[in-house]
Amino acid sequence: MKRTCKLKKRDHILMHFEKAAKSYSIAEFDCHFCKIKRKEHVAQYLEEAGLHKWSRAHMHGRRYNVMTTNIAESINSVLRFARMLPVVHLIGEIVNLLVKWFTERRELALNCTTTLCPNFGEKKLRNRLEDAARMNVVKVNNAQYNILDGDMDGLVDLTNNSCSCRKFQLEQLPCKHVVAVCRFLKVSVYAKASRYYTRKTWIDAYSDSIYPVQPHGMWDTPEDV
């Protein structure tokens, strides 16, 4: 019974940690982090690690909704069998893997028929279009609009392309409040999305070809090497 209670408390802290890490605003972050502070040693560890390293709200840059920084571990997982090979063969496996990835992603991008990338842009934007249909927009002035969403609301400023919920700034994709303003003004919501979400940028990212390394006997090695 005691063990079950401990596991529940641990899951409770983990839940608030995940929500704090993914919070867009400082107020939302503080709401979850104050629950973590009930476990003083956990809160101290996270603060010493640096809030800006794991918290979206405190990060100085933009994550574009990517919440991992350990790419080395991800690559090691993919190459877990190839790592046992001699270094020359390991490099060959890495090149072959990149060739495969580029080919698959290039074909996906070329076959894409939406304005934005399907999973990271288009799908999310369409969900927000549905949410925005139920919101009221109040014009404050020619640049600012207050959106009533039945929760925390949002103040959109078109002069500096910002929203008080901070999703627009951090994701570079229109949040539901900005979508509501676009509907109100009858302007294209796609114009407010970063070019990094567009189909064209997706195609350009994989436009180059990666060629496999030829067998050693076919190498044209300069005499001075």
In a domain, 74, yes or no: no
Q: What's the domain range around 187?
A: 118-195
Cβ burial, residue 183 (10 Å; 0-12/13-18/19+): middle
In a domain, 11, yes or no: yes
The pLDDT value given to residue 10 = 61
Q: Which pLDDT tens digit goes with each residue over 172-198?
A: 999 999 999 999 999 999 999 999 999
Half-sphere exposure of 64 (CA within 13 A, CB side): 8
pTM score: 0.76
In a domain, 21, yes or no: yes
In a domain, 124, yes or no: yes
Number of domains in the chain: 2
Q: Which pLDDT tens digit goes with each residue over 92-139?
A: 888 888 999 999 999 999 999 999 999 888 999 999 999 999 999 999
> What is the spatial distance between Cα 216 and Cα 220, in angstroms, rounded to a whole number?
9
In a domain, 210, yes or no: no
In a domain, 59, yes or no: no
Residues 6+ apart with CB under 8 A from 77: none
In a domain, 146, yes or no: yes
**Which residues face 137 on adjacent strands?**
147
